[in-house]
């Protein structure tokens, strides 16, 4: 495994596509290492820049899961799943990577997103604690780091994403097969949609919802049914269905709105879909097991995908060029790499 990674790393700078002209930075949470890792990809390839220990207890793995860089890039936020018993969200200053605040959330806070208009952070309390009971979304004011509301949601909520205009927060309930829309101003559930297969049957286990950057559409990953569905946010109905490999998990749409990137967790692959045609362009096997998160550079050029690994395997970030759909780099990060978010681009 390590030899393979070394080979991939060394091979990274040779391309068939346009040259890489910028350095790209992203923060990655390593759930079983209690670190957030800063990675860089650029003309010289990919590298781990910094490893930032997170959490409070030296002798307990607290599980950083979700990560979100604030609009503007001044801060980043990480959700710490395990607490006593509630998890927390920590705020760090980007670059110096010094913790500047934190607040308590609910049981096992996981994925999260920030409304660019209010700065409110919506974090799902995934509650991975056995009982299938409705959980909540915590709303956190990221300026004062105060939990200002807990909004009841379905069972095991996941995949928190905010609409581009900052007006709505979307998330799915993995074990009750629902899509939720929260009004980011009234902090109340405005709509909920039962998610089903074509024949109306359920058990689709949705794990992610991703609004389109410019259109009133959202994409929902049916982790248990190997589908990604397109939800019309006006009619609040499911439209197109994309049949994927096993275990679609996290999603991202390029800022230009053309490409949907799907991590296929059970198939250990990453798929790239053309949203105009609704056709899969390519699905690429990852270099290790269990693909997890994905973030895309603002220029719509590169997708950064986390791969968890198993046991003592290091986590990985794989960098895909969206021009030719080739893997450009593999970067070792902490164990069980999960949430990832883009930080900044800069000239080399």
Partner 1 sequence: MRTLLLLLTVIQAPTIEITPASLTLEVGESATLRAVIQGSDAQVVFFSGNRMALTVTPSGHVTANRPGTFVVTALLPDKPFDGAWDSYSRRDPGIRTTIEVTVAEPPLESIAIVGFPKQMYAGTTLPIRVLGTDTSGAERTDFTTRFLISNTDTEDAHTAETDGFGNVTALAPGSFTITADADGVSAEHHVNVIPNPTASLTLTASSREARTGDVVRFEASARSSAGERLEKIPITFALSSRPDPNRPESVGAGAPAQIDPLGRFVAEQPGIYTIVAMSGDRIARTSVLVTPRNVAREIEFLGHARVSDRITSDLWVWEGIDGRDYAVHGTWNAEGHAYFYDVTDPTDMKLIDKVQVDARTVNDVKVSEDGRICILSREGASNRRNGFVLLDVSDPHNVEILSTFDDGLTGGVHNVFIHEDHVYAVNNGRRWDVINVEDPRNPFRVSRFETKTPGRSVHDVWVRDGIAYQAGRSDGLIVVDVGGGGMGGSPTSPVEMGKFPQITGWNHAVWPFKSKSAGRSYVIGGDEAFYRNPLKPEAGGILWKEQIPSRAKGWLHFVEFDDMKEPREVARYQLPDSGPHNLWIDWDEEIMYVAHYDAGLRIVDISGELLGDLYRQGREIARFFSTDNEGFLANAPFAWGPQPHKGTIFFTDFNSGLWAIRLVPSDTATDGEE
The helix or strand, by DSSP H or E, that contains position 90, with its residue range, turns out to be: strand 88-93
DSSP string, 215-275: SSEEEEEETTTTEEEEEETTTTEEEEEEE-SS-EEEEEE-TTS-EEEEEETTTTEEEEEET
The answer to whether 306 contacts partner 1 (rule: CB under 8 A) is no
Q: Stretches 6-14, 36-44, 95-103, 316-324: which one binds partner 1 (CB under 8 A)?
A: 95-103
Longest pairwise C-alpha distance within the chain: 53
Shortest separation between residue 121's beta carbon and partner 1, angstroms: 11
- Rounded distance, CA 188 to CA 198, Å? 29
Question: Which of 82, 63, 70, 20 minimizes the C-alpha distance to 45?
Answer: 20
The answer to whether 71 contacts partner 1 (rule: CB under 8 A) is yes
Binding mask 222-261 for partner 1 (x = CB under 8 A): ---------------------------------x------
Binding mask 3-42 for partner 1 (x = CB under 8 A): ----------------------------xxxxx-------
The binder of partner 1 chosen from 95, 101, 116, 202 (CB under 8 A): 116
The binder of partner 1 chosen from 27, 76, 108, 272 (CB under 8 A): 108
Cβ-in-10-Å burial (0-12, 13-18, 19+) of 252 comes to buried
Among positions 151-210, residues that touch partner 1 (CB under 8 A) are 164-167, 185-188
The answer to whether 51 contacts partner 1 (rule: CB under 8 A) is yes
Residues 6+ apart with CB under 8 A from 29: 35, 36, 54, 64, 65, 66, 67, 78, 337, 338, 339, 340
Binding site for partner 1 (CB under 8 A): 31-35, 51, 53, 55-61, 71-74, 82-86, 97-99, 108, 115-120, 127-131, 141, 143-144, 146-149, 164-167, 185-188, 213-214, 255, 289-290, 298, 308-312, 335-336
């Amino acid at each position: 495994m390590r030899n393979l990674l070394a080979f991939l790393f060394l091979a990274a700078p040779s391309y068939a596509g346009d040259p890489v002209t910028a350095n790209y930075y992203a923060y990655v949470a390593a759930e079983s290492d209690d670190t957030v890792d800063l990675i860089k990809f650029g003309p010289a390839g990919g590298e781990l820049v910094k490893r930032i220990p997170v959490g409070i207890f030296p002798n307990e793995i607290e599980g950083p899961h979700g990560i979100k860089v604030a609009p503007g890039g001044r801060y980043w936020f990480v959700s710490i799943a395990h607490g006593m018993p509630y998890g927390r969200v920590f705020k760090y200053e980007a670059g110096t990577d010094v913790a500047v605040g934190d607040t308590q959330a609910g049981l096992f806070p996981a994925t999260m997103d920030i409304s660019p208009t209010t700065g409110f952070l919506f974090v799902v309390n995934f509650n991975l604690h056995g009982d299938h009971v409705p959980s909540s979304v915590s709303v956190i004011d990221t300026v004062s780091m105060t939990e200002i509301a807990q909004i009841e949601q379905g069972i095991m909520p996941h995949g928190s994403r905010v609409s581009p205009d900052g007006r709505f927060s979307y998330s799915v309930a993995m074990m009750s097969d629902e899509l939720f829309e929260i009004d980011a101003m009234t902090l109340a559930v405005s709509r909920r949609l039962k998610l089903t297969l074509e024949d109306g049957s359920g058990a689709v286990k949705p794990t992610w919802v991703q609004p389109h950057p410019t259109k009133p559409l959202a994409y929902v990953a049916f982790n248990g049914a190997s589908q990604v569905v397109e939800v019309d946010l006006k009619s609040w109905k499911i439209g197109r269905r994309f049949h994927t490999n096993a275990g679609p998990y996290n999603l991202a749409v390029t800022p230009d709105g053309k490409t949907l990137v799907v991590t296929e967790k059970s198939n250990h692959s990453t798929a790239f879909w053309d949203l105009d045609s609704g056709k899969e362009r390519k699905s690429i096997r990852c270099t290790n097991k269990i693909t997890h998160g994905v973030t895309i550079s603002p220029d719509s050029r590169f997708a950064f995908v986390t791969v968890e690994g198993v046991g003592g395997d290091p986590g990985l970030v794989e960098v895909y060029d969206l021009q030719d759909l080739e893997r450009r780099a593999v970067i070792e990060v902490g164990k069980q790499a999960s949430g990832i978010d883009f930080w900044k681009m800069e000239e080399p």
